[in-house]
Amino acid sequence: MYYGEKVRLRAMEMSDLDEIMKHWNTYETRRFLYSAIPHSEENERKWLEEVTTSTPWKSGSMVLAIEDKKSGQFLGSVSLDNISTQHRRAEFGIAIHDPKNHGKGYGTDATKVMLWVGFHVLGLNSIFLNTLVSNARAIRCYEKAGFQRTGIFRRALFTEGQFQDLLIMDVIADEFAKQHPGSTQIGSPNEEHQQ
């Protein structure tokens, strides 16, 4: 559907449930998210029911599956939430589930493709996120994809025994379009896994 250099973003499917349950409750992945509390299969099924039937404008949310372009392997998901039609703004989120797949460039590529979708398909003007200041890998990934550091929510998240600061980052449509105009793509279907 949407291609990067390493990944393909496509609609989430109910059939992704088994793949999600393989690594989603891995602490090394979830410790950087808002809640490291385990999610049951039933919980994930309900979430999938929501995201497989949502539309960006009615539900204010768009969640896409991240796949390895070559192997077709399910890697995780990437999202735009709290989509505001008035302000044309949305909040970005991403998780590559299996820690073995961290640091291989998938996150940066998927982030760029989702920004491309947000700006050039949905017509958004601003995409923001917040992340733990201790999540150096995520911050590096976001900066490589085009996000800038905008501010700090001080001691906004209680995790691993302490209140930690959250870094706020954003990217504006004009800035992104300078690097990636709407007439260009992040990647192409070349080397796509054939089912």
Ligand X SMILES: CC(C)(COP(=O)(O)OP(=O)(O)OC[C@H]1O[C@@H](n2cnc3c(N)ncnc32)[C@H](O)[C@@H]1OP(=O)(O)O)[C@@H](O)C(=O)NCCC(=O)NCCS
Residue nearest to ligand X as judged by C-beta position: 107
| Alpha-carbon span 175 to 168, nearest angstrom | 17
Minimum separation from the CB atom of position 81 to ligand X (A): 12
Closest CA to 21 of 42, 49, 52: 42
- 32 vs 128, beta carbon nearer ligand X: 32
Minimum separation from the CB atom of position 182 to ligand X (A): 23
Residue listed under structure tokens 């590096």: 140
- 57 vs 136, beta carbon nearer ligand X: 136
How far does Cα 118 stand from its chain's mean position? 11
- 131 vs 164, beta carbon nearer ligand X: 131
- 57 vs 163, beta carbon nearer ligand X: 163
Spatial neighbors of 111 by CB under 8 A, at least 6 apart, are 78, 92, 94, 141, 142, 145, 147
| Alpha-carbon span 147 to 103, nearest angstrom | 18
| Alpha-carbon span 148 to 169, nearest angstrom | 5
Q: Which residues bind ligand X (CB under 6 A)?
A: 29, 32-33, 94-96, 102-108, 131, 135-138, 140-141
Residue listed under structure tokens 């976001």: 142
Strands (DSSP E) contained in the chain are 2-3, 7-11, 62-68, 74-84, 89-96, 126-132, 148-159, 162-172
- 56 vs 91, beta carbon nearer ligand X: 91
Minimum separation from the CB atom of position 86 to ligand X (A): 25
Minimum separation from the CB atom of position 133 to ligand X (A): 11
Minimum separation from the CB atom of position 163 to ligand X (A): 17
